[in-house]
Structure 1
Amino acid sequence: MFRDTFGASSTFRSLRLRRELHDLEERRRGLYRHRHTTAVSQSPVGETRPRPKVSTDSSVHDALLNGDLDKIRDIFLSKDSVNRIVATVSHELSWSAELGLWSLTSKQKRTTALYITAQRGHTECLKHLLGHGADVNAEPGGATALHAACANGHAECAKLLLRIGADPNAISDEGYAPLHLCTSPKTILCAKLLLEHNARVNMQTRDRQITPLHVAAKHGLDEHVDLYLSYCAYCHKKNREGETALNAACSYVEKREAFGRYYKVCKMLISNGADVKTAGKKRHTPLHNACGNGHPAIVDLLLMHGASVNAENCAGYTPMDCILLAVEDHLDYHPEQIVLMLLNHGAAPVNPKILKQCAKSPQTMEVVLNTYQCIPFCDSWLEAVPPEVWQKHEAFYESIVQMTNKPRSLQHLARCALRKYLGTQCHSVIPQLLLPSSFKEFLLLKCEGVFK
């Protein structure tokens, strides 16, 4: 009963906080609109700008949403009608301090016919509205029609708006330009159109100081990144957290099917001067993020370009710590490959206390244990091995038990001595040694599946 009550109260606290943040944002937007309205009202004497009328007719809104061209032609016949504000009502949870509870309240949202048709990609309807004098840069809801068209990848709509005079650098109430809203592969044509119409490729968002290159890198949009770099986007530009586009690409590469695109993004950024050692305010480098996300190809790319293998973030974690703490998240994708790369580039020895993190990955455990001259006492971390994993790899785990605190072979000790001597050069020197391939693989800690 206590647990249920605690869960509910946590939910209400969360909702209350969200509501308070929402109210603060609404007040900020209100001040912005007030300043904007004041500026407009201070026009020369004799010049007046009538306020657009407001329509709350749901049938009008439905016609715009559905792209009903016949109805739109009947409704929007003049400049006054096409610039009419379209008001819609939505229902949201609102906290009542007086009653001490949450209640459902109605919130009115304001937009334009042009915004709705651009958002939905109704090109012919958009043409009709523009032909009757629609204000191409109107933003009663906090964003222009061009923002809506680009966010949804409607290139034909974006082309029409830009041709009429839409501002490619207009800033929404949230602080975004249209180029910041190109967040999916289908928006590439919109991004090209914006840049052709003088959109600023290095413009940063108002609050988080994010550039379009940050956005494209975060979403693994290799075509966008290539486009922005051709327009001289700055690879070294940092956001509010002190992170570059390369940090963003390594931070968000989570879905395996997108690994190829993210690798291309990182490769392009590095080729154009991105610094692989740049860390954000929390001292988290691209290598920390790539290791935590289990991407061996990007880890290898970063290491080959001089990433700091033993750099510590503000929590004291190295890239090795990041992959070992995430081993269970990447069991099906060979996390031992990343551990091998780090060790062969000079990663510091792993503290035996963290061995339990790789209990479910025998290959990872073998790689780490082969960096020790002697297998340490194992009861504390072998207990973490699930019975089904032990059964599947029984010979491997039994060999650990038999070799615990016993001298390893002379061959293994020679390997440890050579690797210690080579240090950070293991990955580059060992492959060049005049030795049989099998022995070079042994020196590079290739897994054998059992300890001898």
Structure 2
Amino acid sequence: MVLEWSSGSKEDYVVSDWTPVHEAAIHGRLLSLRNLISQGWPVNLITADRVSPLHEACLGGHPSCANILLKHGAQVNGVTTDWHTPLFNACVSGSQDCVNLLLQHGASPYPASDLASPIHEAAKRGHVACVETLVAHGGDVDHNIGHLGTPLYLACENQQVACAKKLLESGASVNQGRGLDSPLHAVARASCGDLALLLMDFGADTQAKNAEGKRPSELVPPESPLTQLFLQREGPPSLLQLCRLRIRKCFRTRQHHKINGLVLPEELKQFLLHM
């Protein structure tokens, strides 16, 4: 094993090969990790790729190991050479407990680089609880990355219905996708009826044209039942739908839960909340 002290921007850390601390962290061996720390092993050991034990604990989805590392001073926003933060790794594993823990210890919900965005990763993989926690801590539901698009677009592209619904309920723009390609374009290609209905209920523009000048309905695979759905939704939305969308628009991102506080019949609240 090679150890070399280096000076970081905030505090010293140690560059090393793969160590027993990394091994214990990624496999969730809490007792071994405690013993290693008590023996004097630094918690901010990083490999040549700048991977720390905290990165590994979160990638393995082990909040107990992450917690002990953080309590002993692990850098919560450390970045690997691939721009992965511990929070990004927690979203890869889908560990809401790790996501919560990191945010409570000061992790930034915003990506260190567009090459590794936590909320995009959670949306793509269908980790609804992680998306919800990130949004609750200020994550941008409409963060648009050139090569990925918005979190909603990624959720739709990967047919993650529950994540798409959570993003829309949190105020994500239903028509922002990747360039001119809207989430509904992505859903049309995949021929996913549940997602198409969801997007339309939240006001998706069925007439939007992508860079090729095509509307979503023109991208539906031949003989797909989705074709009939688009035919049924042709024309202007109903007055009922327009009213719902207008009222929801009055509530900004992450504020739609306040609809529950309105002095309205319960059924009307559920209608406004898409429940």
- TM tier, smaller: 0.7 to 0.9
**2:141 alignment partner in structure 1:** 235
Offset at residue 279 of structure 1 (A) = 2.9
Q: Secondary structure at 1:424's aligned position in 2?
A: coil
1:4 is matched with none
Deviation at 1:172, TM superposition (A): 0.8
- Write out aligned runs for 1:124-163 (5 A): 124-142=31-49, 143-163=51-71
In the other structure, the counterpart of 2:248 is none
Aligned-pair Cα RMSD in Å:
2.8
Aligned to 1:164: 72
Higher gyration radius (CA): 1
- Partners of 1:345 and 1:426 within 8 A in 2: no
The number of residues matched between the two structures is 234
CA distance in 2, matches of 1:152, 1:427: 49
Question: Among residues 184, 202, 205, which one is paired with 1:305 in the alignment?
Answer: 202
1:190 to 66, 73, 98: 98
How far the C-alpha of 1:316 sits from its partner, in A, is 3.3
Match of 1:344 in 2: 232
- Quote the Cα distance in structure 2 between the aligned partners of 1:139 and 1:151: 15
Mark the runs of 5 or more structure 2 residues left unpaired by the alignment: 242-275
| One-letter code aligned to 2:83 | G
The question of whether the paired residues in 1 share the 8 Å contact of 2:30 and 2:65 is answered with yes
Q: Where does residue 373 of structure 1 map in the other structure?
A: none
> What's the CA shift for 1:144?
0.4
Note if 1:319 corresponds to 2:221: no
Q: Secondary structure at the match of 1:111?
A: coil
Moved over 4 A (4+): 425-429
1:214-225 alignment, distance < 5 Å: 214-225=120-131
Q: Tell me if the contact between 2:114 and 2:145 (Cα under 8 Å) persists in the aligned partners.
A: no
- Give yes or no for contact 1:310–1:319 (8 Å, CA) kept in 2: yes
Match of 1:116 among 19, 23, 30: 23
In 1, the alpha carbon distance for the partners of 2:95 and 2:43 equals 20
Of the candidates 183, 189, 193, which is equivalent to residue 286 of structure 1?
A: 183
Partner of 2:158: 252
| Cα drift, residue 141 of structure 1 | 3.3
Aligned to 2:81: 173
Paired residues of 2:60 and 2:93 also in contact (CA < 8 A)? no
Contact 2:87 2:99 in 1 (8 A): yes
CA contact (8 A) 2:152 2:177 kept: no
Report the Cα distance in structure 1 between the residues aligned to 2:32 and 2:158, rounded to whole angstroms: 38
Gaps of 5+ in 1: 1-35, 44-48, 53-84, 86-109, 254-261, 328-334, 347-422, 430-452
What is the aligned partner in structure 1 of residue 164 from structure 2? 266
The alpha-carbon deviation at position 323 of structure 1 amounts to: 1.8
1:150 is displaced (CA, Å) by 0.4
CA, structure 1 residues 186+424, in 2 after alignment: closer, same or farther (shift >3 Å)? Answer: closer
Q: Secondary structure at the match of 1:237?
A: coil
1:425 and 1:148 mapped to 2: Cα distance? 49
Distance 1:149 1:141 in 2: 18
Question: 1:112 Cα shift?
Answer: 2.0
The answer for the alignment partner of 1:69 in structure 2 is none
Cα shift at 1:149: 0.7
> How far does the alpha carbon of each residue in 1:54-91 deviate from its partner, in whole angstroms, 9 at most, with x for none?
xxxxxxxxxxxxxxxxxxxxxxxxxxxxxxx4xxxxxx
**Aligned ranges 1:2-13 → 2 under 5 Å:** none
Q: C-alpha deviations, 1:383-433, integer Å up to 9, x for none?
A: xxxxxxxxxxxxxxxxxxxxxxxxxxxxxxxxxxxxxxxx3348989xxxx
Structure-1 separation of matches of 2:178 and 2:213? 14
Q: 1:46 aligns to what?
A: none
How far the C-alpha of 1:145 sits from its partner, in A, is 0.5
- Separation in 2, partners of 1:148, 1:291: 38
With the length of structure 2 as denominator, give the TM-score of the two structures: 0.76
Post-superposition offset of 1:296: 1.2
User: CA separation in 2, counterparts of 1:140 and 1:272?
Assistant: 38
Q: Indicate how the Cα distance of structure 1 residues 185 and 146 shifts in structure 2: closer, same or farther if over 3 A, else same.
A: closer
Instruction: Report the Cα distance in structure 2 between the residues aligned to 1:177 and 1:112, rounded to whole angstroms.
Output: 19
8 Å CA contact 1:344–1:424 kept in 2: the answer is no
**Identity of matched residues, %:** 25
Report the AA paired with residue 424 of structure 1.
Answer: P
1:120-172 per-position Cα deviation (integer Å, ceiling 9, x unaligned): 22211111111122121121232100101101111211111111111111111
- Shift of the alpha carbon at 1:205? 4.2
Once residues 321 and 427 of structure 1 are traced to their aligned partners in structure 2, the CA distance between those partners, rounded to angstroms, is 26
Report the CA distance shift for 1:176/1:240 in structure 2 as closer, same or farther (over 3 A): farther
